[in-house]
Amino acid sequence: MASAANAVKEKVEQQQDASQKGDKKQAQTVELSEAVGTEATTGTGSIDLLLAMDVPVTVVIGQTELPVKRLLQLGPGSVLKLDKSIDEPVDLYLKDVKFATGNIVVVDGQFAVRIDKILSLNDSAVKAAGA
Q: What mean pLDDT value characterizes the chain?
A: 81
Residue 101, domain CATH: 2.30.330.10
CB atoms within 10 A of CB 59: 14
- Could you say which residues of the chain have pLDDT below 50? 126
pLDDT given at position 40: 59
- The torsion angles phi and psi of 91, rounded to 5 degrees, stand at -110, 135
Say if 3 falls within a structural domain.
Answer: no
Say if 123 falls within a structural domain.
Answer: yes
Say if 45 falls within a structural domain.
Answer: no
Alpha helices in 42-96 (DSSP H): 46-51, 68-72
pLDDT given at position 130: 52
Say if 83 falls within a structural domain.
Answer: yes
Say if 90 falls within a structural domain.
Answer: yes
pLDDT given at position 27: 77
CB 91 within 8 A of CB 118: no
pLDDT given at position 45: 63
How far is residue 5's CA from residue 43's CA, in Å, rounded to a whole number? 30
The domain total for the chain is 1
Domain housing 101: 55-130
Q: Taking the C-alpha atoms of 119, 116, 85 and 96 in order, what is their torsion angle to the nearest 10 degrees?
A: -30
